[in-house]
Chains A and B, each alone.
Chain A
């Protein structure tokens, strides 16, 4: 143990003085007025008043004072007394590549521990970082200097988003005099690891401080139905669990999705299933709790979905034969598909419009034409109808009629496709089995003005395209079903449509020669920011060959509307680092660390002084009153929390024992309460959960009882509910089954639990009933479901003010009323619509009014008659 401020220990010399001072001062007595003091004065001889503090109190205070002095002197318990090994300056090597991002603080703490040891050993320290700097400078070693100076350099050190360059570090290593080596490693392999490891081993005794689990690497790819997050790690003996968060462009985090890597496995995958709208907004996936460039997978346009409208001729939806059948199946995994009329489709933003054998004429043609001019991508498939009535929205002029190849009356054979020329389909493999047996023909004169994206072997254009304004029109000269060719049956068709979709949305396809300048790059902690000084762009066509380095850090590249993501996860295969021969490996957690005892000593002193305070109170006889008053205060505080349910109007709901159902009941009645409070003079407090037979029901005018399939009711509960109904309570029994189909078994359960209940004869609730016009005029009474009959007492009981004691339905009203904290409904209404929810709330308002005011509205019917009679 050492002291950082040993001079302060001199203050311990003052303790004896303190001892005499404390000894001479007895604790102040409590003063008490007392009439019989003369009797006490007579006693004075028998009891000697001690003029001195009790010895144990004195000891307590002295120990406390001593602890304060020692604590302020800054004792430090040095965990490792091990010498730093060989002579020479200490070489501290820190991996600061992307893999050091997760757990950077722990690495810095470990490095700090090494500095502390070097400082105590009065050894110079040389710092060597292995990753290139942000300006692209190669790793370099500083000349050995005092540990205190290195500490400030260490504090300025940040992880870099690119891999380490141990080869360059090797060159820097040779400039450092030999000595012990401490290597804060990231555990991930890099270039020329072996040479670096050997150089370290020959430099001096090596201690490796490495985390137990190296940093994982996240990558993402689009898949049918969502995104697939893939996490790769160097092979590891233990399994790992990670959480993937999806991040939208405005920073909202969605998720998490769990990814697990089995023991021994090198990677794990998880499907990130998200609603389409959200998927289109995503900008990145992240590994939760692991900040680092490798833990972020940026999403560019290639992962986005684009809405595609489609429309075909008659019978377009027929399986296997319909004109849109294959298009739909090809696009569904990667695009959002919409059907409808031209007007409906173009009413919303659309990236691409597919028209299969559908001639356009009149206002439709004008509408589509305008849309294309504004940047839409119109994809048309030929067919008999189009061949008969070609219109103007085609890239080429069609010759009348079509060409048939390989028919029964023809010598020719179906023709296969030629390799794709330059264009969006360039590079797609052409399967030999794809043939075309019939097609429409373009006027050769007009083909010259259009682009030909695909040809048959005989040179006939198959896919032609032409620009119109900012948009494009693409024509497939065959049908979109298998009538004219087997192209729609092949995988090629899917790839072609995918390329078309990614070309759409008004986005210029990146020309391979375009230079992609860095727009936003990740830093070593996985945060997007300004590009580092060294970052330069690359040619779009060469993105496959770009290696992540200070020149090309991971991030977004290219113009704002056409960003391309460069991800570490797509470029690097993580592997375990080469072992350094003869090195001692320590975990980051076990790295020797100094323990500062000062704060603990001072805290102990404060605790002792508190004890001294209590002891003084005890000597003065005040301990018990203080404790009692504190207890009383606590009890008073606790007692105040209890509030009688009679002080406000509460609606109650019966607890079912199913927490989800109870939660919906609570949220539903809260939502209804808000609605009622907003719109009526009734003021409802928070809904109260009750158990019939246990809680007193007499405070609640209305009881909501969701009956689930496994509902039970105790005999005491039956008695309580009967009593409740007899004395004017209203029970809304809801089987939440929507007429039986949504919650099987609930009706049987209702029969079971209502056996002992005195339910009057029931009749369907109609618009004539008071309940239907207690506040709003209602003719049906939907909840989450609509249409199920609602039952109410048939005969009106004068003794109970004509109020039906029970209302039985299955429309799941609580779910319709349930809202989250922001007032948004939690459950969709079925069949749906805002109107149904409004009606559900109105039914609730009527119900509350009915329970609170009885047949008041029924009496209102007679008001004109009464007024008339009064007038006479």
Chain B
């Protein structure tokens, strides 16, 4: 409806243009006060309405739009910053956990290794001791045997000699004279039998 009116009035203005051009007028039309009041009136009306609608309806909306965009963008940036910080913290935490567990694993390895070494050493010490003891015992026994051997042999020799003489000559020989002979023999040939 408004469109139609505007169209009609524009069309009408073109029609009346001819009339104006036909009527030649001198000087500046701007200084002709005929329509001054009309122009002031319509300027006040149109500019007043324009100002009112712009200031009350349209400009606050544009301002709000701009504000909301600005705040949305800054919110998004803030959120992105926050998330980046969070991910950084997570990454740090993760790295910490990894290094901690690495240390732990190292510790456990070292400890068990030490323990094992200690056990092995202890066992070896015990075994060494036992072996030493056994060797000592055996050596003692050998020494004892070696110490005892000449006297026993002498005794056996004395007894065998007296028995032999008794059987051979049938005479009782004094044990002491036999032992003297044996001692003498053993002293002379001892080295041959008992070594060292």
Q: Do these two chains interact?
A: no
